[in-house]
Amino acid sequence: MAKFFITTAIHYVNGPPHIGHVYETIGADVLARHHRLRGDEVLFLTGTDEHGIKVQRKAAAEGVTPRALADRNSLKFQQAFDRLLISNDDFIRTTDRRHVRAVQRFWQAVETHGDIYDAKYEGWYCIQDENFVTEKEAKEIQEHPELGKTVEWQSEDAKFFRLSAFQGHVERLIEGQADFIRPENRRNEMVSSYLRPGLRDVCVSRTTLDWGIPVPNAPGHVVYVWFDALINYISAIGYGGDEEVFRRWWPADVHVIGKDIVKFHTALWPAMLHAAGLEPPRRVFGHGFLTVGGKKMGKTLGNVVDPLEIAARYGPEALRYGLLRENDFGGDGNYDADAIHTRYHSDLANGLGNLVNRTLSMLERYLYGCHHAQPELPEAETALLARFGALFARLDEMMDAFRFSQVLAEIWELIAALNKYIDDTKPWELAKAQKPDPRPRLHQIFATLAEGLRWTTAMVAPFLPDAAGKIWSVFHPGRPLEKWTFRQIAARGAIPDQTVLAKPPVLFPRVEKPSA
């Protein structure tokens, strides 16, 4: 059994989850679920990033401790992910004892390697990004208040990581491994904007705040939040605590992150790992940003979208489907409430839901709900089902490339084909005939529909896990979809002959459009 370790970035706890957080996490969840159906042993990790100046200041403004703020918002993320059907296997918090232990051990490994030194930091610091920035970057932030960022000049005694010493290592990794950074444009941006100008040493400790992990043997220093946060990917799998588990799962197969933090994950993180004697992750995927109604999302614009409000109105699967169908996951996208409403009714209710209802209702009406397995089917039906097999054969490649919108578009083409097949074969007219006996032909029609629906259900399950589970239970009661693999699902005739199928489940009830 192959192993598959997938992670999201850990989410900052200075505020509750918004639509951008869940976009990333839903994308990672879909791929994790797909790999489970492939028969892989999957570890899906997400979590919260809880240290740094933003959290310390936000807590002070609210009159609470940083830990209280972190506890409150970390719980909100966990509750949101549960509501949105996120199937993470672990949830790491950077305040966890296991993480603190791992960070301090990692620091000591890098320091022993000779790659941490003392110096004074003087320069600009972006509060929102928790990032040291150049004079040019600071000027851009100051000249563009619409970015919603601020910079401060800071001066403090600190410790630095010798990132510049790893220029060659990072270059060989990025330029020598074509799929290390995906999509391709992220790789090009990384090479032109960061590699070619040359990597600079990075300040990795702070002495002007105390909300952080103490640096070993350095009183007054706490670990810089990015050095701390990146280590979550290994602290969660046993680094510094359970080496057997760690060696089993590392390196990660893919880090799923926002495009703005690709530089940390593909330069700083591999250099840190190399300094500590560890392998880099196998792949980093930098997804695009979501706008809202075509505008940048922000509190000042009053357009921050609460994903739980959408889930409360349409159900979590409408949000999962709508976000990934409407947007190219690798590029920038847009959240549009009208599009979610339209997709819910046109694709989910009138497309998939209608197909399930029509098929099972007519099967019950004309054949008493009884499935009649067909060892052979006519040429037209065989050709129709071959289209499902053809998509099935390409599914792994498309999913691993995060081409979710394309996958969904092609699945819905097949759903439309099955609905058209019903319209063309007109089983309601056939059932009225007395001679010849219509039942053999009805058996063929409904066997074709059942087989097509099984394939559809399996392919759509990572996106719509609840709906897929309900449909699957009709065909295979007592054998939930989670117990199957794609190899088993692909076998024709998996529904036993003479199986009486249950009545159609209600999948996507009508929802009124909210008033403006």
Q: What would the pLDDT profile of 181-217 be if each residue is shown by its tens digit?
A: 999 999 999 999 889 999 999 999 999 899 999 999 9
Q: Domain of 465?
A: 348-491
The pLDDT > 70 percentage for the chain reads 96
Length of the chain: 516
Please report whether residue 409 resides in a domain: yes
Residue 244 sits in the same domain as residue 353: no
Is 385 in the same domain as 275? Answer: no
In a domain, 138, yes or no: no
267 lies in the same domain as 368: no
CATH code of the domain covering residue 235: 3.40.50.620
Residue where a domain stops, chosen among 290, 307, 324: 307
* Confidence at residue 503, expressed as pLDDT on a 0 to 100 scale: 84
**Amino acid type, 140:** E
Higher pLDDT, 298 or 367: 367
- Residue 199 domain flag: no
| Whole-prediction pTM | 0.93
> For position 468, what pLDDT does the model report?
97
In a domain, 149, yes or no: no
Same domain, 293 and 360: no
Rounded mean pLDDT, 3-15 = 96
Query: Mean pLDDT lowest for which of 80-94, 288-302, 411-425?
Result: 288-302
236 & 102 share domain? yes
pLDDT at 79: 98
> Domain of 389: which CATH number?
1.10.730.10
Alpha helices in 368-485 (DSSP H): 379-400, 404-425, 427-430, 439-460, 465-475
Residue of higher predicted confidence among 300 and 130: 130
Same domain, 371 and 461: yes
- In sequence order, the 6+-apart residues with CB closer than 8 A to the CB of 222 are 51, 205, 206, 207, 209, 210, 211, 212, 213, 214, 215
Please report, for residues 150, 155, 206, 289, 452, the alpha-carbon distance to residue 124 in angstroms, rounded to integers and kept in the order given: 10, 9, 14, 25, 59
pLDDT band of residue 152 (cuts 50, 70, 90) is confident
User: Do 328 and 334 meet the contact criterion of CB atoms below 8 Å apart?
Assistant: no
> Taking a C-beta distance cutoff of 8 angstroms, is the pair 156, 205 a contact?
no
The pLDDT score that the predictor gives to residue 132 is 67
**Which of 247, 276, 307 is at the close of a domain?**
307
> What pLDDT, in 10s, does the model give residues 413-462?
999 999 999 999 999 999 988 778 889 999 999 999 999 999 999 999 99
> 233: pLDDT confidence band, cut at 50, 70 and 90?
very high
- Looking at the domain assignment, is residue 129 inside a domain? no
Both structure tokens of 173: 């990794």
Residue 65 inside a domain? The answer is yes
Q: Is residue 244 part of a domain?
A: yes
Q: Is residue 313 part of a domain?
A: no
Q: Which residue has the higher pLDDT, 137 or 104?
A: 104
Q: How far is CA 282 from CA 4, 177, 254, 304, 463, in A?
A: 11, 9, 6, 34, 24
Average pLDDT, the chain: 92
Does residue 59 carry a pLDDT above 90? yes
pLDDT at 492: 61
Rounded Cα gap, residues 349 and 355, in angstroms: 9
Of the residues 253, 286, 307, the one at which a domain ends: 307
Count of domains forming the chain: 2
**With contact defined as beta carbons under 8 Å apart, do 326 and 405 qualify?**
yes
